[in-house]
Amino acid sequence: MAISLINPPPEIVFSKNPVLFTFSTDNRFSAIGRPFIGQLQFSTGHVDGRSFKLAWGGSEYTYIFKNAPDNSGLQLPAYQSGTVSDWLVLVAAALERHYYLFNDFIITKPTADTLRFTSRVSSTSYAITYTNVSLMTATYSVVQTAQDRVLRKNFAIYLELWVENVARTEFVRHSQTVSEVDSEGIANWDVQDYLTAIMLADGPLLPDLDNDVIYVDRMSVRRFYIRYAEMYGEPQNITRFDQTDNFVAILGGSHDMVDALERFVVNGLPRWAHDVRASDFQMHVSQIGHASIINLVDDIAESVHFKMQIFYEDRMQEVVELGSLPEWKLYDKIVVPIGIPQIVHLARDDVEISSIMLWVESGGVPVSDTYSRMIDNRYLRYGLTLCYLDSVGCISTLYTYGRKQRSYEVEKTQDTFAHIDRPTQHKTRELDIDIRDVLKINTGFAPAKMIWVYRDFILSTYKYIIQDEKLVPVVLDSSSIDERDDANNLESLTFGVKYANEQRNF
């Protein structure tokens, strides 16, 4: 007798999609009991008008044989012709249509002339008492007496969530719960909210815009497992622990419930992680950008090199190396700076860049798929780069342009002092003055599918603007968002953000 994991989640999951574990136990009862079994044996068929009674659980029902049974469930087909065995098949089918009998008993025909009633629950309250009203040739017998099941007091399943630390040196217990089982001994635990909270306990791992280096993010990809045990008694005692296999959680989620492994692996190679819609968006020449990739295939012990093919407007191209790492361990997420301002020192300065293509090599062989972005070289006034944690747990950016409006939100208290010594003193004084910058942002006009990407920014819980090569945290300052169309079927959004932190004089 033990707990078993009957329905695990996939081995690799998104933390924001359901991560449901279903456990089953057969140990809810200290005594499992046994069902009642009784049977009726018929040596001959019974004609119209004959009847008998069955009583159990405080209820009694009279069954009568009729040539034309009604729909009460208590009238059974009378014998008219044929063998007793064939007639009992019809009788058994009619008894199964009586709701209360069928709900409590399994009706079978073990021999040609016998009907057997087996209680669905092991309880003495389901012992059938038989009364012969007018049957001439029927014999009732008890094959097995019932024995009550005995439930264990305060029975439940104790569950713990253990998650690997960022250094990957040990697993740490982060959450524990007690789950009562249902009548079938089933208990469920969905850990998606815990996983997301654990990985974002200190916020996302942000890029260093001063250095623009390739870095490894182990905060947003974690292994975890569940420890579980039965607990019962008075007082409750926890029995021996067991634990599941290791699973892998990736920060983020998918609206279309695409399997996480499918999203990050293609043709047996790691696949660049990004919002599918965002990849259709041209990257502006002034835009800071990053690409992320997770190794869900195997450890790569040799050094890995991050290659970029740069395509120029004069149809020339070249391959440059953005950087390298000594190894690429399984489950490591690597973040690579790919914005033109971040790689311009590696490119030609006499011609504009039209597009870029990125991949990973090891030993001179590609070990990832490729990631491409078109470059928008237009001069756009009032440009601003928005940065956010996207739906698949990666740092993404969007470039906005056009009319912007800046204002300041002022919060203060003030007090009036009764006496002043000099006219240059303030009788009314302002106290605790804070200001926050508020920006009204215009996305600029773009096709609808590109504007849709801004919803990911709006829905993200971690939003930033890039100002003076620094990440500035912001929050939405709009309860509604304005959308505009132009004559070319392009759309734009206007919404407000304000600085998440106030400014004050100290």
pLDDT tens digits, one per residue of 141-197: 999 999 998 889 999 999 999 999 999 999 999 999 999 999 888 999 999 999 999
- Is pTM beyond 0.75 here? yes
Angle among Cα 500, 501, 503 to the nearest 5 degrees reads 140
Q: How far apart are CA 366 and CA 347, in angstroms?
A: 22
Q: What is the pLDDT of residue 487?
A: 64
Residue 390: partners with Cβ closer than 8 Å, 6 or more residues away? 252, 274, 275, 278, 396, 456, 460
Q: What is the pLDDT of residue 337?
A: 96
How does strand 12-14 pair with strand 247-250? parallel
Provide the b/e sequence for 91-115 (b: ≥16 CB within 10 Å): beebbeebeebeebbebebeeebbb
- Distance of alpha carbon 300 from its chain centroid, rounded? 29
Q: Which of 343, 356, 271, 359 is nearest to 309 (CA)?
A: 356
Q: How far apart are CA 75 and CA 68, in angstroms?
A: 8
- Other C-beta atoms closer than 10 Å to the C-beta of 37 total 20
Provide the b/e sequence for 122-160 (b: ≥16 CB within 10 Å): bbeebbbebeeeebeebebeeeeebeebeebeebbbbbb
Q: What is the pLDDT of residue 420?
A: 67
| CA distances for 237 relative to 190, 244, 454, angstroms | 24, 21, 52
Sketch out the chain's domains with CATH numbers: 4-30+152-208+220-250 (2.60.40.10), 34-147 (3.90.1160), 260-378 (2.60.40), 398-505 (2.40.30)
Q: What is the pLDDT of residue 260?
A: 82
Task: State pLDDT tens for residues 116-155.
Answer: 999 999 999 999 999 999 998 899 999 999 999 888 999 9
Amino acid (1-letter code) at residue 9? P
Q: Which of 372, 381, 375 is nearest to 401 (CA)?
A: 381
State the virtual CA torsion across 455, 460, 465, 469 in degrees, nearest 10.
Answer: -120
> Residue-wise pLDDT tens for the chain (506 aa)?
589 999 999 999 999 999 999 999 988 888 888 999 999 999 999 999 999 999 999 999 999 999 999 999 999 999 999 999 999 999 999 999 999 999 999 999 999 999 999 999 999 999 999 999 999 889 999 999 999 988 899 999 999 999 999 999 999 999 999 999 998 889 999 999 999 999 999 899 999 998 889 999 999 999 999 999 999 998 889 999 999 999 999 999 887 667 788 889 999 999 998 755 555 568 999 999 999 999 999 999 899 999 999 999 999 999 999 999 999 999 999 999 999 999 999 999 999 999 999 999 999 999 999 999 999 999 888 889 999 999 889 999 999 887 667 777 766 666 665 666 677 776 676 667 778 888 888 887 777 777 778 888 888 999 999 988 899 999 998 777 877 787 677 888 888 888 888 776 65
Q: How far apart are CA 419 and CA 290, in angstroms?
A: 60
Burial (CB count within 10 angstroms: exposed 0-12, middle 13-18, buried 19+), residue 421: exposed
Q: How far apart are CA 364 and CA 367, in angstroms?
A: 9
Q: How far apart are CA 404 and CA 400, in angstroms?
A: 10
Q: Which of 139, 97, 96, 138 is nearest to 118 (CA)?
A: 96
Q: What pairs with residue 358 in β-bridges?
A: 308, 371
Burial (CB count within 10 angstroms: exposed 0-12, middle 13-18, buried 19+), residue 468: exposed
The DSSP line for 142-195 is: EEE--B--EEPTT-EEEEEEEEE-TTSS-EEEEEEEEE---TTSEEEEE-HHHH
- Give phi and psi for 171, each to the nearest 5: -100, 140
Q: How far apart are CA 180 and CA 187, in angstroms?
A: 7
456: enclosing H helix or E strand: helix 454-459
Q: What is the pLDDT of residue 250?
A: 96
Residue 307: partners with Cβ closer than 8 Å, 6 or more residues away? 319, 320, 321, 322, 358, 359, 360, 361
